Amino acid sequence: MQNFFNKIGKTASEAASKAGSKASELMEIGKLKGKITTKKQYIGNTKKDIGAYCYELFEAGDIKDPRIEELCEQIKAYSEEIEALEAEIEEVKEKYRIKNDEDDPAAEE
């Protein structure tokens, strides 16, 4: 009977050891994956910085690469569209401001 309990104790101990080892493995992998994610964010931020710098060069007329020029022209077109949409927003605000003033008798006093 003593032998039986020794085997159960040994099996339980081995299982606990394996579980602890697996938990440590997963924790270490999680930390490394977190570092990878951080580095990928750094890469993304650096790419944005490169893009901003290239656009500054484009605006100054210093870009000679046709692909970069094409992309910068797209950005310029989007920026112009944004300006037009912002102007529309102001027109809508003004239209509703005038309409609300007409509807509000207190505004006439």
Q: Where are the domains of the chain?
A: 1-63, 65-109
Contacts of 57 (CB under 8 A, 6+ apart): 63
Stretch among 19-23, 42-46, 50-54, 55-59 having the lowest mean pLDDT: 19-23
Q: Where are the alpha helices (DSSP H) in the chain?
A: 2-59, 66-103, 105-108
Residue type, 63: I
63-72 pLDDT, tens digit per residue, is 899 999 999 9
78-91 pLDDT, tens digit per residue, is 999 999 999 999 99
pLDDT above 60 (res 109): no
Contacts of 59 (CB under 8 A, 6+ apart): 72
